[in-house]
Every structure is written in C-alpha cells, then in structure tokens.
Structure 1
Amino acid sequence: MLLALLPIPCIIVAGVVIYRSKQRKLTAQMNRRIEDLELDIRNDIRQGFVDLQTERADLMENVGAIPFLDYKHFASRIFFPEGGALMTSCIRDIGQDVVKVRPDECCQALSKLIREQHFLTCMVHTLEEQKSFTIKDKCAVASLLTVALHSDLCYLTQVMEELLQALLLQAGASQPKLLLRRTESVVEKLLTNWMSVCLYGFLRESVGQQLFLLVSALTQQIAKGPVDSVTEKALYTLSEDWLLWQAQDFTSLKLKVHFAVGSDGEVSDPLEVSALSCDTVEQLKDKILSTFRAKFGFCYSAALRDVRIEYEKSGSFVPLEEVDGSSEVIGDVTMLNTLKHYEVPDGASIKVLSKKTHPPVSPQGSLKGKQHFPVCFSHKPPG
C-alpha cells in the first residue's frame, strides 16, 4: 500500500518543479520583451529629439511669414466662423474706412432699445427660452450684439456680467463643472467674442509668434505619421479620442514639386515636399500647398479644390485622383488611392496645375462633400 502511494509525492514534486521552470522561462521571456520594448521606445525618443532639433531651424525660418490678420478680419472670423453674408457685413461695419450713413428711424429705435440694459437682458433670456432657438442662432445673436455694441465695450461688459450672473445661478446647482466648457448660450459666445476683442493686441504683439510656432510644430509632428482621410484620426496625436490605433505601414518620401506657370507648359523650380506613401491624393495636395505657404509666406494662387496634380513616370505625366478606374473595391467600399497605390517612389517629380488653366479630361470634385463619404469610401484596408 505504501509502495503504491510513494510515487504520488514524487509526481507532485515533479509537477511543481516543471511548473516553476515554465514560470521562470515565461518571466524571463516577458522581461526580454519588456526590455526590447523599452529599447525601442528609447530609440524613438532619441530619434524624435534629433528630428525636433533639426526641424526647429525650419520653423524659425518662417517667423517672418506668420499670417497675422488685421483686426477686422480677425474679429469677423471669431464672430462668424462659418462665413457668409454676416461675415461680409461684419468686415464692412468694423472696418476703419467705414462711410458713416445716417440710419433710418427703425434702426435708431432699435439702437436705443439695445442700449437699455434691462431690455437687452430680458430679450436674451426670452430668446433662449424658445425651443426653436438653436445653438447656431444663439451664436449668431451674440455676434451681432458684439458688432452692434463694438464701439461701447464698457456697456457690453456690463451686459455680459449680468447675463453671466444669471447663468451661474441657473447652472450652479445642476451642472457647475460643465459651465463655460461649451458654447451653448448667448452669453458664452459673448464671452468668447469679448475675450477675443480684448486679447487681439496682446496676441499680435506678444504671444502670437510663440503660438504660431507651437501650432506649426504640432502640425508638423502629426504630418509625420498616417492620418486617416475619412475619420481624420492620426497616429501622432495628443488626444486619445483621435488616435489611429491600427496604422498601416508607411515610408517617408521627398517629392520634387513643380508648379505650372502659364498655359504653355513651363514649370517653376522644384519645391521639396515631405509626404508619406500612405497619403491620399487630397492629403498630398494639402501638404504641397502648406509647404508652399510656409516657404514663401503667402498662399498659392489656386485653392485646394481647384488644384490637380500629375506624377511624372517614364517621361509622361499620370494624373493622380482620389478615385479612378484603378481604385480597389472591397464589397461596397471603395479604397481611396494613395501614393503607394500609384507606386510613387522617393524623389519623384510632381506637377501642380490649376483646373482653371489646365482643365482635367475627367473632372472630379472633392469626395468629402458627398453625403455618404464615410460609408462609401475608406482610407485604410479592413483588418
């Protein structure tokens, strides 16, 4: 009986030894992987530091090309970011060369009414109580009030303070942490406009250059990695919500870009543009125009939608389009053409033409304007 039970402890001991041996091997393997990962991260950090040091000079060269807006265009873009007739009227009304016209009796009466603080605050509260009064309407009313009271910022400040007090009392008990985080009321848009007006001089004279360099550096870093043309998510981003988790393989390219001069085939001297093999045609256009603006300090004569590009291959030029007959179709989804799809190599020559002077044989507008663009088209292959 004892002889029959004797192998059991031996088996248990052997099992424990084997288990611990496997655990040690697994731990050692995990430690090696962690060390390799740390080494890769250190190498990426070193390379990133080197890139930042070498590209800092490029940013500093463009300080003189900072596109500062004059006050009326700055204010109009803040007040009416969507543009349109209101923006045009705003530029005319706050311009320095305004021809003063005597308003009619109705305008004079309205001007007197909005100068009554009690009436103005009651009007704003009444408008916001209307269910059909959308956020877009609230922003428009706030911007129109800012333009109307632009010459009397002291009175505008008093009105804004009273409306802010009412907003604090209303939202203080329910959602105090969300207060002023989103522009969902007239007074929040008023506050945005008021701060923009007051800070314009400080931005232009003191911190404008630093902010421009910061934004330029962030844009430059984002452009170094893939950016999904459909979802606009990026591999190199500061926001986890906009992180491109599954990035496709890519290589960096240096392209020689020539701009067509006139209609007789002449081209400009080459401009070196950095791109990625995974960039779509529209993304390449945007990088070309951005590099042009950073290099020369002014925008290219044609807008992005009015530009088409061609790739020089074996002595002939191949037009590059977002979607054409060679586009890959997977089910109901059409893959957007990339530089890798067209087999554009490093150092390739790209010609930029204006659609007005060089109309394409088969015109194609921007695909992003289509209603079902995110559903019908894809930038990255399904994985």
Structure 2
Amino acid sequence: MLLALLPIPCIIVGFVDLQTERADLMENVGAIPFLDYKHFASRIFFPEGGALMTSCIRDIGQDVVKVRPDECCQALSKLIREQHFLTCMVHTLEEQKSFTIKDKCAVASLLTVALHSDLCYLTQVMEELLQALLLQAGASQPKLLLRRTESVVEKLLTNWMSVCLYGFLRESVGQQLFLLVSALTQQIAKGPVDSVTEKALYTLSEDWLLWQAQDFTSLKLKVHFAVGSDGEVSDPLEVSALSCDTVEQLKDKILSTFRAKFGFCYSAALRDVRIEYEKSGSFVPLEEVDGSSEVIGDVTMLNTLKHYEVPDGASIKVLSKKTHPPVSPQGSLKGKQHFPVCFSHKPPG
C-alpha cells in the first residue's frame, strides 16, 4: 500500500539499496542467540519474568532435581490428572469476575508446567476446553476467536504450540526468521523513529509510518566501554546512529551493536547504562531530559544527538549507573504514565 504512494524512481532506488545492503546484513547480524529449551519455554510461559519464571526454569528440562512432593501436592497432582475435574476447575475459575486475564495466563502456564511430562493428556484437556470455547463464543464472535489471549485455553494453546514447534524453529526455520527480523530492524533503524509514538520513516505498515520526519544525518560514533573502576576503557566499537536519535535510542543501538559484534549481551541492561560524550577533552553526560531541554508550551522535547551537537566520528563512553549515578535527577521522568502528553521527540504541530 505504501508503494502506491511513492514515485517509480524512488521505488527503484530503494530496491537497489536493499540489494546492495544484503552483504552488510550478513556481516552485522552476528551470532544467532538460540535459547536452550527451558529458557525458551519459561519466556513463553511467563513473559513478565519473576518468581514463576525462575521456578519454571528449575522444574523443566533434563537437569531437573527430583524432589518427593508432600501429601497435599500429591493429592493435587492426582486431581489435575482427572480430566473432568480439571476442565470443571478451569470453567469455575473463569466464571469468577475477579479472575483477570493475567490470572488466566498464569493458571494456563502453571498447568503447562505441571503436565509438561504428559503432553498427550495436556492435548486432550486443551481440545475439550477449545470445544467449549467454540460452542460458547463461536456463534456470536467467530472472527475474534483465538485472536487475543483472553481465556485459559487460549494461553494453553499458545504454550502447547510453542512446545511443539521448538525443535522445528531451532533446527529448520530459526535462522531464516532471525535474519528476517534482523533485516527489518536494521532497515527501520536507518531512518527516524519517533521515541514516543514508535512510528518510523522506514516501515512496512502505513499505520506506523512517520509522515513528518525531521531532517537527519547519519553518524558513525566511536563507543568505548568503561573497564573496571580506574577509568580504563575498551577499544572503540563503531556504532551507526542518526542525529535525530534520542539518548535512549542511542543506548539501544550501542547495546544492539555490542551483541551483534560479540555474540552476547553487554553486562548491564539498558536501564542501568549511562553514556557520556567527549567534548574538548572532557566528558558531557547525555540525558533524555535535563536543564538544557527545549520546552514548547507544555511539551518538553527529548534531547537528541543534534541537540547536544554530537558530530560524526565523536567518542562516546558507556558507564554503569550502579557505579556512576546519573547527574540529572530528571532522568526518570520518561517512565511516568503521562510521558506521551508531557514529552515529545519532534516539535508539536
């Protein structure tokens, strides 16, 4: 649909650019980060992490430590092996108004872990629950079925398919899917992406197209990582960025480049990283919001590399917030719920 809006010369130039960038893609992808089965399954079952994910990692896999359960656990295990009881329990839980979607997903994933060693029985239970769901909602809203995870059985189906597809993904199509996602990510990163709305200039969806993109230039930055606590830094890592990138977007590109280059993630998470720009022999902290941020009416503009006048070839130092607390007390403002109203990546209008 987007192609219909563009003149033919632009389409041809874009196609040629994509063809010439295939070699760059293969070079920049780096190692494919395949997860072992138990970490793959735990992320599918409990995407929010926490204690349930930790327990899941411990309870599935080949290195499970066999622990004799107490009498209560043994009794519960026998009950959930009764298909009629289990389906009635699920229906009863879902009739409770206080039983939220988050609760439904948690129950479904816990059942998947508990019955993980008997997938045939889990499949039978899932089929019975699916039939009940089809009879209940199929006549009134057939097009909405299984489009959103709003019931226990829908989450069960997601978990079941993930378990069954793991081997196929790992051995057959995983590499191709990873290359596809990497290619899309790299192409999107070559143009402006609004940090607030997440709309992009280079996108496959018209709904997510950034129609009013600000002027930008491409930058090659020399990024050094702090080593130890005595001020030593690593050899420079070249990172591609845009002058319109916000500080958080630059951090994300730095960590993504690090992972692609070395095949593993940087020791600190994005939220625990701060960056500094070397200017005239001293280092200037880069923050999304600080005292120099531009304010237009009630909107505070997020600081970009252009705002800090970071040139091509500039040196950036990456440090950990745990050892170097942030200078600006306003660094956490972006996390507030009213962030899209109070802050903007591009001038309003």
Alpha carbons of structure 1 residues 258 and 166: separation in structure 2 relative to 1, 3 Å: same
Alpha carbons of structure 1 residues 6 and 121: separation in structure 2 relative to 1, 3 Å: closer
- Residues 310-358 of structure 1, C-alpha deviations (whole Å, 9 max, x = no match): 1112222211111111111112221110011111111211111222333
Identical-residue share of aligned pairs (%): 100
| 8 A contact 2:30–2:262 mirrored in 1 | no
Alpha carbons of structure 1 residues 49 and 266: separation in structure 2 relative to 1, 3 Å: farther
User: Aligned pair 1:210/2:210, yes or no?
Assistant: no
Q: C-alpha displacement at 1:11, in angstroms?
A: 48
Counterparts of 2:275 and 2:5, CA distance in 1: 84
Tell me the matched-pair count: 348
- Residues 54-83 of structure 1, C-alpha deviations (whole Å, 9 max, x = no match): 432233236661111111110000000011
Deviates more, 1:180-189 or 1:354-363: 354-363
- Residues 118-162 of structure 1, C-alpha deviations (whole Å, 9 max, x = no match): 111111111111222111111111101100000000000001111
Counterparts of 1:6 and 1:257, CA distance in 2: 37
Match of residue 155 from structure 2: 189
The runs of 5 or more residues in structure 1 that have no matched partner are 13-47
Alpha carbons of structure 1 residues 9 and 254: separation in structure 2 relative to 1, 3 Å: closer
Q: C-alpha displacement at 1:10, in angstroms?
A: 48
Alpha carbons of structure 1 residues 4 and 169: separation in structure 2 relative to 1, 3 Å: closer
| 8 A contact 1:248–1:380 mirrored in 2 | yes
Alpha carbons of structure 1 residues 117 and 331: separation in structure 2 relative to 1, 3 Å: same
Structure (1 or 2) with the larger CA radius of gyration: 1
Give SS of 2:21's match. helix
Give SS of 1:65's match. coil
- Residues 210-260 of structure 1, C-alpha deviations (whole Å, 9 max, x = no match): 010001011111111111111222222222332222221211111111112
Alpha carbons of structure 1 residues 167 and 358: separation in structure 2 relative to 1, 3 Å: same
| 8 A contact 2:287–2:328 mirrored in 1 | no
Give the alignment's TM-score, normalised by structure 2.
0.92
Alpha carbons of structure 1 residues 112 and 62: separation in structure 2 relative to 1, 3 Å: farther
Counterparts of 1:3 and 1:274, CA distance in 2: 27
| 8 A contact 1:305–1:365 mirrored in 2 | no
User: Aligned pair 1:250/2:216, yes or no?
Assistant: yes
Give SS of 1:305's match. helix
Deviates more, 1:281-290 or 1:56-65: 56-65
Alpha carbons of structure 1 residues 127 and 3: separation in structure 2 relative to 1, 3 Å: closer
User: Aligned pair 1:112/2:92, yes or no?
Assistant: no
Match of 1:130 among 89, 96, 115: 96
| 8 A contact 1:308–1:354 mirrored in 2 | yes
Counterparts of 1:9 and 1:263, CA distance in 2: 54
Counterparts of 1:323 and 1:293, CA distance in 2: 27
Counterparts of 2:275 and 2:96, CA distance in 1: 50
Alpha carbons of structure 1 residues 320 and 8: separation in structure 2 relative to 1, 3 Å: closer
Bigger fraction of residues in helix: 1
| 8 A contact 2:30–2:260 mirrored in 1 | no
| 8 A contact 1:263–1:358 mirrored in 2 | no
Alpha carbons of structure 1 residues 10 and 344: separation in structure 2 relative to 1, 3 Å: closer
- Residues 168-214 of structure 1, C-alpha deviations (whole Å, 9 max, x = no match): 11122101111111111111110100000000011001111001000
| 8 A contact 1:311–1:350 mirrored in 2 | yes
Give the alignment's TM-score, normalised by structure 1.
0.84
Alpha carbons of structure 1 residues 10 and 238: separation in structure 2 relative to 1, 3 Å: closer
Alpha carbons of structure 1 residues 8 and 83: separation in structure 2 relative to 1, 3 Å: closer
Match of residue 20 from structure 2: 54
Alpha carbons of structure 1 residues 2 and 54: separation in structure 2 relative to 1, 3 Å: closer
Q: C-alpha displacement at 1:166, in angstroms?
A: 1.1
Counterparts of 1:143 and 1:51, CA distance in 2: 45
Q: C-alpha displacement at 1:277, in angstroms?
A: 0.9
Q: C-alpha displacement at 1:6, in angstroms?
A: 51
| 8 A contact 2:194–2:346 mirrored in 1 | yes
Q: C-alpha displacement at 1:301, in angstroms?
A: 1.4
Alpha carbons of structure 1 residues 346 and 109: separation in structure 2 relative to 1, 3 Å: same
Alpha carbons of structure 1 residues 118 and 257: separation in structure 2 relative to 1, 3 Å: same
Counterparts of 1:90 and 1:63, CA distance in 2: 30
Larger relative contact order, structure 1 or 2 (CA cutoff 8 Å, min sep 6): 2
The runs of 5 or more residues in structure 2 that have no matched partner are none
1:70-85 equivalences under 5 Å are 70-85=36-51
Match of 2:336 among 370, 378, 381: 370
| 8 A contact 2:290–2:328 mirrored in 1 | no
Please give the root-mean-square deviation of Cα atoms over the aligned residues, in Å.
9.5
User: Aligned pair 1:7/2:7, yes or no?
Assistant: yes
| 8 A contact 1:327–1:336 mirrored in 2 | yes
Counterparts of 2:66 and 2:4, CA distance in 1: 113
Match of residue 62 from structure 2: 96
Give SS of 1:225's match. coil
Q: C-alpha displacement at 1:365, in angstroms?
A: 4.2
